[in-house]
A = this chain, B = another copy of it.
Amino acid sequence: MLKLYDFALSGNCYKVRLMMALLNLEHELVPVNVKNGEQKTPEFLNLNQWGQVPVLVDGDLVLRDSQAILVYLARHYGGESWLPNDAEAMSLVMQWLSTAVHDIQQGFAAARVYHLFGRQLDIETATARAYVVLKVMNQHLAQRQWLELNYPTIADIACFPYIALAEDGKISLADYPNVVEWITRVKQLPGYVGMPGL
């Protein structure tokens, strides 16, 4: 059975749980207490030397990084629907995995850990980056229901959690109606599950 090393409050872990729910995949959750530093123990570092959750284990495969895990789940269990095989379509989706890792992480996720967990960081820069993302995404979604390809893909799943959790980081979605509608659309996907704060 799929085994996910998981922290309930992590948006990156949540995106994997959400993908597994959308694909209706049975799985076991192994809680890792990130607040107590359990992801830095020798046992966990043996699983992922970067010392980060999530980690997915499927038989002999041990995968780190939520984006890579989404790719695996989509390709192995999701057929072509969540990550198409065509080079052009695949790369359009991939753009948003980088956006999730880079801009969304450094904007929304950073603002969230600052306000929710008190982590010290440059909150002005993080907040400003989050609003840049919102401006671009709102414009991008003006003519689209989904980030790419006119149907939901792992692009949407990768970007969804920290944007939907914006309020945790005191980021307001009020001026970005297309983003708000997109969030609603994701929440209406068959099999959708939430997380604390959503």
Which residues of A pack against B, CB within 8 Å? 49-50, 61, 63-65, 67-69, 71-72, 75-76, 85, 87-88, 90-92, 94-95, 97-99, 101-103, 105-106, 122, 136, 139-140
12 residue pairs of the A-B complex, CB under 8 angstroms, read: A63-B95, A68-B95, A69-B91, A71-B87, A71-B91, A72-B90, A72-B94, A75-B87, A75-B90, A76-B87, A97-B98, A106-B106
* Closest chain B CB from A48 CB (angstroms): 10
* Closest chain B CB from A131 CB (angstroms): 13
Expressed in whole angstroms, the Cα–Cα distance for A103 and B140 within the complex equals 27
Contact: B75 with A91, CB < 8 Å? yes
Query: Looking at the complex, which one of B65, B94, B122, B140 makes contact with A95 (CB distance below 8 Å)?
Result: B65
Expressed in whole angstroms, the Cα–Cα distance for A97 and B90 within the complex equals 14
Contact partners of A63 in chain B: CB under 8 A: 91-92, 95
Contact partners of A105 in chain B: CB under 8 A: 102
Known A-B contacts A50-B136, A101-B101, A105-B102; the reply to A67 vs B85 at CB < 8 A is no
Closest chain B residue to A61 by CB distance? B88
Contact partners of A106 in chain B: CB under 8 A: 106
Contact: A98 with B101, CB < 8 Å? yes
